[in-house]
A and B are shown apart, each in its own frame.
Chain A
Amino acid sequence: MTNKNNKKNYWRDMTIHIPTPLRTYTNGLDSIPVTAGTVGDALQELVTAYPGLKGNLFAADGKLRSFVNVYLNEEDIRYLSEKEATPTTPTDELTIIPSIAGGCR
């Protein structure tokens, strides 16, 4: 039987932080551990586990919605050279952060 400690040894757990409005789709959880080797794999695992997130994160063409920012630690994945193919490590954190903007006109 695999316990959590053994799982740590064999799987590459990393954490995805979920913003307040999307926790409706994660049973209220504010962070989700996933096992993935790249940023893209991590996001796919997330929406597989919580399908309600898919339409909120991705447009019909499969790309991230324009207002959805995903940061790998302190870096916007859109500006990483390998983008969603960027390799991840167990200590990495992905943060999903919808944009905040507006104005009086």
Chain B
Amino acid sequence: MLRIQFSDYEALREHGRQTYPHECCGVLLGRSVDGVNEVEEIVEAGNTRTDSAHNRYNIAPVELIRIQRQARAKSLDIVGFYHSHPDHPAQWSATDIAEAHWLGCSYVITKVADGKPDVTNSFLLRGTGEEDKFFEDEPIEILVAVGASK
């Protein structure tokens, strides 16, 4: 399961709107507890695939290292990633599974239809390695802070 604050959930969907018609991408920081990836913070990242940003994304390793360092300073881990599918379903693609290597992490995908965030789904990358990895549909629990304004 992926557990995320409503504000972070909305922020990652909003990121998809901002970058439309290009794919957005970012990192989910938090903790993995008893099989639940709990998100404490999301970090927007740049999409380096400027050659094909409408249907591809890539986060520069050096940016990931910076984000990982930032996480470590807060005693957080990288627990997942998010990206958008402009005018495509919020389902993982052949490219997504081929290029997914963070076993145990959540991969969140938002369909952005005509510039508006639509369906958001999460997929947990499972398996023991490249040979047997697979995506599993993952429920998203969205937390609303008590006293938060509507």
CB proximity of B116 to chain A, nearest CB, Å? 16
B13 at the interface (CB under 8 A from A): no
Q: How far is the CA of A24 from the CA of B62 in the complex (A)?
A: 23
State whether A98 touches B95 (Cβ < 8 A).
no
State whether A104 touches B68 (Cβ < 8 A).
no
Q: How far is the CA of A32 from the CA of B86 in the complex (A)?
A: 40
Segment at the A interface, from B2-10, B48-56, B140-148? B48-56
State whether B105 touches A21 (Cβ < 8 A).
yes
A51 at the interface (CB under 8 A from B): no
State whether A101 touches B88 (Cβ < 8 A).
no
Interface residues on chain B, number (Cβ under 8 Å): 40
The secondary-structure label for the interface of chain A is mixed
Interface residues on chain A, number (Cβ under 8 Å): 25
**In the complex, chain B residues whose CB is within 8 Å of the CB of A61:** none
Closest to A76 in B: B61
Q: How far is the CA of A80 from the CA of B97 in the complex (A)?
A: 30
State whether A20 touches B79 (Cβ < 8 A).
yes
The secondary-structure label for the interface of chain B is mixed
**In the complex, chain B residues whose CB is within 8 Å of the CB of A68:** 101
Flag A66-91 by CB within 8 Å of B: 1 or 0 each: 01110100101000000000000000
What is A's interface to B at a CB cutoff of 8 Å?
17, 19-21, 24, 30, 55-56, 65, 67-69, 71, 74, 76, 95, 97-105
Q: Could you write out 28 A-B pairs with CB less than 8 Å apart?
A: A20-B105, A21-B101, A21-B102, A21-B105, A24-B104, A30-B77, A67-B101, A71-B61, A74-B62, A76-B61, A99-B58, A100-B25, A100-B27, A100-B58, A100-B81, A100-B99, A100-B102, A101-B56, A101-B57, A101-B59, A102-B56, A102-B83, A102-B95, A102-B100, A103-B95, A103-B96, A104-B23, A104-B85
Q: Closest 9 A-B residue pairs measured CB to CB?
A: A103-B56, A104-B88, A102-B96, A104-B85, A98-B101, A101-B99, A101-B58, A21-B103, A69-B61
